[in-house]
Amino acid sequence: MKKVIAFLWAGVLALGLLTTGCAGEKEEKETGAEASQREELQKVTLNEVAHSIFYAPQYVAIEEGYFVEEGIKLEVVTGFGADKVMASVLSGESDIGFMGSESSIYAYQQGANDPVINFAQLTQRAGNFIVAREEMPDFQWTDLVGKDVLGGRKSGMPEMVFEYILKQKGIDPDQDLNIDRSIDFGSTAAAFAGGQGEFSVEFEPSATALEQEGAGYVVASCGVESGYVPYTAYSAKESYIEENPEIIQGFVNALQKGMDYVNYHTPEEIAGIIQPQFKENDLETITTIVKRYQEQDTWKENLVFEKESFELLQDILDSAGELEERVPYEKLVDTAYAKKALEN
């Protein structure tokens, strides 16, 4: 964990290179009427941990103009890793971060003077899948024993949830299999396609892409096996929230509209809305991925980050040996904005 935190602060200095070189900005589209009021919109920079169909409610909100309706001109930058997103938020480069909430706990444990507060939870299931080199219709988690597995970056939610599941299944992550924790989760698919590992833990659209290429096959869902986990949430520095309550409320209102859409529309309808965000994927592929996430109950009905979820997150961190001491829920979670969004 110390390595992760050290990188958070070191990343503050190098952030400009990371975000500018690795990700383009995506601005929310405007209608004609809204374009005339463009100068009145409040610019908000959101740094997302990854650009994935896993976060469909956010992209529905962008494509349907919900942020503009709330007076927000949203600029999205992809940080490619929770450590980089946190560095962006801490430096003030980004206003809001979207990442695993473990990062806010890490920063708090290191004595952050301006703690990063979680104010909205988007996903309630893990978004990664176990990919094998061959079809395994009767896959059992014990099939991983003695195998080489690409697990993703150490101390990141994908890797920690994976190990949490293994322990729940009576499998020792350190003794019973070989987990490669040296590869960032954004690079594991390429490594797997290149011949590394016998199994890999993959997000979408990488999991489906490996299947389409014949390089791998999805054999299990970490989201189904882990149960309800506060996988990703939106957060900002306490000072930013206190100084910009109307922006935070508008931001959450827009997200809630996006959440409502995905919970009451078909995968085909959702895919059609978010396709402009994933031009590298055809409509059929996007639909398949959305359906896969819907079937495992990925998205919450609301954005309220419940105490029970926060405590489960700390249980996972503790199980991974990444928790120095438990942090009071009230210190890092503010549910007022998410609850108010439900009143609209």
Domain residue spans in the chain?
A: 2-125+229-341, 129-226
Phi, psi of 14 (to 5 degrees): -95, 5
Considering the segment(s) 129-226 as one domain, its CATH architecture is 3-Layer(aba) Sandwich (3.40)
Q: Is the dihedral of CA 284, 289, 292, 297 positive or negative?
A: negative
pTM of the model: 0.82
Residue 310 CB partners (closer than 8 Å, separation 6+): 101, 230, 329, 332, 333
What's residue 23's pLDDT?
40
End-to-end CA distance of the chain: 40
Considering the segment(s) 2-125+229-341 as one domain, its CATH architecture is 3-Layer(aba) Sandwich (3.40)
Query: Do 2-125+229-341 and 129-226 share a fold?
Result: yes
What's residue 15's pLDDT?
37
User: Among 11-15, 49-53, 184-188, 219-223, where is mean pLDDT lowest?
Assistant: 11-15
Alpha helices in the chain (DSSP H): 2-22, 32-35, 56-63, 66-69, 82-91, 102-109, 157-168, 188-193, 206-212, 222-226, 238-243, 245-263, 267-274, 283-295, 307-319, 329-332, 336-341
User: Among 92-96, 153-157, 206-210, where is mean pLDDT lowest?
Assistant: 153-157
Q: pLDDT tens for residues 157-214?
A: 788 889 999 999 999 999 999 999 988 877 899 999 999 999 999 988 889 999 999 9
Q: Which has more pLDDT, 95 or 40?
A: 95
Helical axes 2-22 vs 102-109, angle rounded to 10°: 120
Q: pLDDT tens for residues 264-290?
A: 999 999 999 999 999 989 999 999 999
Q: What is the DSSP letter of 199?
A: E
